A and B are shown apart, each in its own frame.
Chain A
Amino acid sequence: MQKSDTIYKLLETSLINEFEQKQVALTGSCHPVVSRSRINGFEFLKDNGLPDRKNEKWKNSPFPGQYEEEYLLDIPPVFYDKAAEEIFRCEIHGFWADTYSMLNGWYYSTKENQLITTGDGVVVGSILKAQHQYPELFEKHFGNIANTEQDGFTAANTALFKDGMFIYVPDGVEVKNAVQLIKLINLQEPLMVNSRNLIILGKSSRLTFLHCDDSVNHTPGFINTLTEVYMDENSSFELYKLQNINDNTSLINNTFIHQERDSRLKVNILSLNGGKIRNELHVNLMGQGADADINGVYLVDKQQHIDNQVYINHAVPNCHSNELFKGVLDEEASGIFNGYIYVARDAQKTNAFQRNNNILMTPKATIDTMPFLEIYADDVKCSHGATVGQLDDEALFYMMQRGIGREDARLLLMFAFLAEVTSKVSIEPLRISYEDMIKRRLRGELSICDKCVLHCSEPDKPIEFDIDLSKI
Chain B
Amino acid sequence: MLLNIKNLHVAINGKEILKGLNLSVNKGEVHAIMGPNGTGKSTLAAAITGRENYDITKGEIIYDGETINDMAPDIRANKGIFLSFQYPVEIPGVSMTNFMRTAINAQREFNGLEAIPAGEFLKKMEEMKKLVDINTKLTKRSVNEGFSGGEKKKNEIFQMAMLEPKLAILDETDSGLDIDALKVVARGVNELRSTDNAFVVITHYQRLLDYIVPDFVHVMYDGRIVKSGGKGLAFELEEKGYDWIIDQEDE
Give the interface of A toward B (CB within 8 A). Answer: 392-395, 397-406, 408-409, 412-413, 415-417, 419-420, 466-469, 471-472
Contacts and interface: CB of A to CB of B under 8 A. Distances in A.
What's the dominant secondary structure at chain A's contact region?
A: helix
Interface stretch (B10-18, B73-81, B124-132, B235-243): B73-81
Contact of A398 (B72, B88, B92, B106): B88
Contacts of A397: 51-52, 73, 89
Contacts of B101: 468
A226 B99 CA distance: 43
B91 interface: yes
Contact of A401 (B49, B90, B95): B49
Interface string B77-112: 110001101001111111100110111011100100
Contact of B92 (A399, A408, A416): A416
A409 B73 CA distance: 12
A398 B52 CA distance: 12
B1 to A, nearest CB: 23
B47 interface: no
A406 B142 CA distance: 19
A412 B92 CA distance: 11
A400 B99 CA distance: 11
B93 A403 contact: no
Contacts of B185: none
Range for the number of chain B residues in contact with chain A? 20 to 34
A402 B78 CA distance: 8
Contact of B83 (A401, A406, A408, A419): A401
Contacts of B186: none
19 contacts: A392-B91, A398-B85, A399-B99, A399-B103, A400-B73, A401-B49, A401-B74, A402-B77, A402-B106, A403-B110, A403-B163, A404-B106, A406-B72, A406-B74, A409-B74, A413-B91, A416-B94, A469-B98, A471-B98
Given A400-B72, A401-B83, A466 B91 contact: no
Given A395-B90, A471-B98, 17 more contacts: A397-B51, A398-B88, A399-B91, A401-B49, A401-B73, A401-B82, A402-B99, A402-B106, A403-B106, A404-B102, A404-B103, A408-B102, A409-B74, A412-B94, A412-B102, A417-B92, A466-B106
B159 interface: yes
Contacts of A394: 89
Contacts of B106: 402-405, 408, 466
